A and B are shown apart, each in its own frame.
Chain A
Amino acid sequence: MCYEPLLDRMPTTRMPSFTDREGLFAEERPRYAEEASYKIHGGCGLMGICDESGTLMSGENAIRAIAVQRDRGNGLGGGFAGYGIYPEFPDHFCFHMMYHDIRAKEEAEALFDRYFQVDLAEPMPTRPVKGISDAPLLWRYFLQPDPHKLEGTEMSPEDFVVHTVMLINSTVDGAFVASSGKNMGAFKGVGFPEEIGHYYLLEEYEGHTWVGHNRFPTNTPGWWGGAHPFTLLDWSIVHNGEISSYGINSRYLEAFGYKCTLGTDTEVAAYLFDLMLRRHKLPIELACKALASPLWSEIDRMPEEEQAVMRSLRAVYGPGMLNGPFAIVLGFNGGMVALNDRIKLRPLVAARQGSILMVASEESAMREVLDAPDHVWAPKAGEPVIATVQGAEPLIHGELHLSADEVSCAVTGVLETCETVEVN
């Protein structure tokens, strides 16, 4: 770990003016994946809602749930992810793309044409909304890996998609992949989240699971890709908090090959989930217990067998424990997991109404969205709230065999992260 002199830091990337949309005047297009090379602090509001019966609900719910938490953001970032929103294309990977200009779009589309069968490419439907300006070009693509190209690679389709994400984020300047999962998508940008939601016409989508985020960064990154949720294939993470243990969490992950370059705590949380769930194959409940460990005094009172498990989890994953205030919602195609820090320094409230499970930073969100919740409670510190859609895929996404640095590159796309990765 070494530091770089202050002056060498990348300036914050900015959106182009409309005159520059063709990319004719841009001397150098921004590398979208990099928000800032220093750590951005911030607080936030979040929500997650899942109908475990698989019944679809409008994105309007997510907008309303986050709109009542407006005070938790400062208009510098908002975003949503919805699951089950593309029933017409359930088996296609859907790429939500952000482009700085036409040239970036052309370069990215050349890659899609070369490696994928693109069954639908269209501009993301949006409407003008007061408060939203300087949006990048937003497009979405429903595609599947070209079987011939896939055949020669010995990769699974999921591997292939993640490699494409890496390729775009690291080599196509001015292009950024906002999400790339099946039957899901991320909708995010700079603005208040209800503005972002209306901008993307979210009320017209229907999904069984929604997560949303309202951002309050302490400086002005003003970059659309930097808003939450962060995604990797089907996974999406929204996060409220400040990991006080970021220093050791990132060094711990680096020993496993992950590269923590964004300086955001969310990135660290995403990698820790990837390490524990996908690579170490820990059940989600135990991964949550490792991330927000029970106190030793609680462990010492557990039955013997459970004690042995918990003691090992803490001793082995101690450097990965997320210490400090946080609330996290991890969305995936089979539901969502919400987790609070170990002494509940950030708010997280949950509610159940029939088959609907909802979490949010504030209870007002439940009261806004649910007519008559059966039960509203504040989950205990470190107790995960897990919603599972009936008959849905398990949490691990498909056939994925990525190494840690490939995951880092896919999530961040930061040049230095991707340099060591073979992106072909």
Chain B
Amino acid sequence: MPISLIQPEFKVHIDYDKCHKCGRCVQQCGWGVYSFNERPIPDDSKCRACHRCVTYCPAHCITIRKNDLALRDNANWSPALRQGVWRQAETGGVMLTGMGNDKPYLSIFDHLVLDACQVTNPSIDPLREPMELRTYLGRKSDAVQVASDGNGGYRLAESTGVEKNIKLDTPIIFSPMSYGSVSLNVHRSLAMAAERLGILMNTGEGGLHADLYPYADHVIVQVASGRFGVNPEFLNRGAAVEIKVGQGAKPGIGGHLPGEKINREVSETRMIPQGTDAISPAPHHDIYSIEDLRQLIYSIKEATGYKPVGVKIAAVHNVAAIASGIVRAGADYVYLDGFRGGTGAAPQIIRDHIGIPVEIAVAVVDQRLRDEGIRNQASIVAAGSIRSSADLAKAIALGADVVAIGSAALMALGCHMCQGCHTGSCSWGLTTQKPELTRRVNPEWGAERLTNLVHAWSHELQEILGALGVNAVESLRGSRERLRSIGLDEQTCKILGVKPAGM
């Protein structure tokens, strides 16, 4: 019997006429594709098309192609479904994967277009005029009350709570990726970039490594169901605290960081024994309902001198009601993670089939909070596949205050979306703890690339705002009048609160 019915997905082709026989590819590949016998010999079955070898080959002689093996066409049984059956028949296990949902669901972002000014109101040139992106994350009061200061001016009569808000120089933050699932150098890159950009990185559920303590003002510390690394000191080492209830890639599912990734430093940061699996339960075992969440929010506020506390949830069918409850429970921001959001490891069946798009989630949550008159009480963070500044602008127009980027941030650091994060062998040194791989990311280099990316998107957002004739991002936030849909059905348009193009 054959060992496996599954044929390699990719073909690695080396042009041996050009090959220097230097062995760089053997050294670079984290997946063990290459062996060396006078020249590099690839094992196609191990290749994930991450292009590490291609990028580093000094002779540019490596090409990765799709394995063009014909399977009889069947619109119902796609090759991926057939492979899934074979793989599970071999292993008897749940298929794991990394990164976000790769199925061809309709992208709502790609069916929305933005407005621009012509004649009746002027567009504004962001190269010559101020174009403001500053955003305050957190709870705001409904009204400002002032009293005379006795000199003809005014002072605040009572706290509006804005002083507890976090100032962001641009409405983009880094989404939570735990130390453990990604390497410390990735965390260092994110923290340095967040500081330079005046934004926030997020620890994810793996605690905060001591090396990042200096960046505390630009860090959101996360409390997830496993409570890894959580103690009063940790809670106070961030600008805000986030309670992670769910993740877009795996709503309703816990986490599992295999023991191989728990080295000494990860073990110290997570406060668990070295080499043991780090298992996050599916629910928080002290949050079985909304009133429990309220208690946790206020426990954390008490422990931190009332820092902002956010709640991250996966976008699911009833997201509007859930978010409304979260705001009423006292959260300062609600983080909505759409079903295309990435993950370090998730069952493929969950990743690809549970949850709803972030566009819908933002639209219904923003509207529900407005209907209930509590929109000012919390910020909305949108995440779950923000792929460009266009997605950013559209998410803001639908009602988000801020977007969070994870997959895009990893791509800035080299990720090629090979979906092998769960293997711990990332050739780009991102989702791995193997020292020979993690050292591939130089934090200074990483921070510069992340800074470049966020600067570029911010400039593009400024261009979009200028075309829209507004000079502050708050004038786009929730301004769905500036969006039109193309090719979306009427019901979806109604849910989004967006008119079709032409109206």
* A residues with CB within 8 A of B: 1-3, 6, 41-43, 218, 241-242, 244-248, 250-252, 254-256, 279-283, 285-286, 290, 293, 295-297, 305-306, 308-309, 311-319, 321, 323-325, 342-343, 345
| A314–B144 alpha-carbon span in the complex (Å) | 10
- Do the beta carbons of A324 and B469 come within 8 Å of each other? yes
Q: Is B295 an interface residue (CB 8 A)?
A: no
Q: Shortest distance in angstroms between B405's beta carbon and chain A's nearest beta carbon?
A: 23
- Do the beta carbons of B142 and A316 come within 8 Å of each other? yes
Residues of B428-469 whose CB lies within 8 A of A = 468-469
- Do the beta carbons of A296 and B154 come within 8 Å of each other? no
Residues of B140-168 whose CB lies within 8 A of A = 140-146, 149, 153-156, 160, 162-163, 165
Cross-interface CB contact of B475 among A1, A248, A282, cutoff 8 Å: A248
B373 to chain A: which residues have CB within 8 Å? 255-256
- Do the beta carbons of A343 and B471 come within 8 Å of each other? yes
- Do the beta carbons of A254 and B370 come within 8 Å of each other? yes
- Do the beta carbons of A248 and B165 come within 8 Å of each other? no
| A112–B18 alpha-carbon span in the complex (Å) | 97
Which chain A residue has the least Cβ–Cβ distance from B133? A296
In the complex with contacts A3-B499, A245-B470, A343-B471, A306-B479 CB distance below 8 A:
no
Q: Is B130 an interface residue (CB 8 A)?
A: yes
In the complex with contacts A309-B154, A316-B160, A342-B471, A325-B122 CB distance below 8 A:
yes
- Do the beta carbons of B130 and A343 come within 8 Å of each other? yes
- Do the beta carbons of A323 and B470 come within 8 Å of each other? yes
| A323–B473 alpha-carbon span in the complex (Å) | 10
> What are 20 A-B pairs with beta-carbon distances under 8 A?
A3-B499, A3-B500, A41-B121, A245-B470, A248-B476, A251-B480, A283-B154, A286-B146, A286-B154, A290-B144, A295-B132, A306-B153, A308-B155, A309-B144, A314-B474, A316-B143, A323-B471, A324-B121, A343-B471, A345-B124
Q: Shortest distance in angstroms between B418's beta carbon and chain A's nearest beta carbon?
A: 40
Which chain B residue has the least Cβ–Cβ distance from A306? B153
Which chain B residue has the least Cβ–Cβ distance from A246? B481
Q: Is B117 an interface residue (CB 8 A)?
A: yes
A325 to chain B: which residues have CB within 8 Å? 121-122, 469
Q: Is B136 an interface residue (CB 8 A)?
A: yes
What class of interface size applies to chain B in its complex with A?
A: 35 or more
Q: Is B367 an interface residue (CB 8 A)?
A: yes
Q: Is B129 an interface residue (CB 8 A)?
A: yes
Cross-interface CB contact of B479 among A247, A254, A256, A308, cutoff 8 Å: A247
Instruction: Add 6 more A-B contacts to A283-B154, A316-B376 (CB < 8 A).
Output: A247-B482, A251-B479, A308-B155, A315-B140, A316-B143, A342-B471
Q: Is B210 an interface residue (CB 8 A)?
A: no
In the complex with contacts A255-B373, A286-B146, A296-B134 CB distance below 8 A:
yes
Q: Is B81 an interface residue (CB 8 A)?
A: no
Q: Shortest distance in angstroms between B248's beta carbon and chain A's nearest beta carbon?
A: 26
In the complex with contacts A309-B154, A316-B142, A247-B481 CB distance below 8 A:
yes
- Do the beta carbons of A312 and B493 come within 8 Å of each other? no
| A280–B145 alpha-carbon span in the complex (Å) | 7
| Closest 8 A/B residue pairs (Cβ) | A247-B481, A247-B479, A318-B474, A323-B475, A242-B121, A245-B475, A244-B469, A248-B479
| A313–B146 alpha-carbon span in the complex (Å) | 10
In the complex with contacts A3-B503, A316-B142, A244-B162 CB distance below 8 A:
no
- Do the beta carbons of A41 and B120 come within 8 Å of each other? yes
Q: Is B227 an interface residue (CB 8 A)?
A: no
Q: Is B477 an interface residue (CB 8 A)?
A: yes
- Do the beta carbons of B146 and A309 come within 8 Å of each other? yes
- Do the beta carbons of A6 and B503 come within 8 Å of each other? yes
- Among B124, B149, B472, B482, max chain A CB count under 10 A is at B472
- Do the beta carbons of A319 and B478 come within 8 Å of each other? yes
- Do the beta carbons of A244 and B470 come within 8 Å of each other? yes
Cross-interface CB contact of B478 among A251, A290, A321, cutoff 8 Å: A251
| A237–B47 alpha-carbon span in the complex (Å) | 69
A247 to chain B: which residues have CB within 8 Å? 478-482
B13 to chain A: which residues have CB within 8 Å? none
In the complex with contacts A247-B482, A324-B469, A2-B494 CB distance below 8 A:
yes
In the complex with contacts A251-B478, A315-B136, A218-B497 CB distance below 8 A:
no
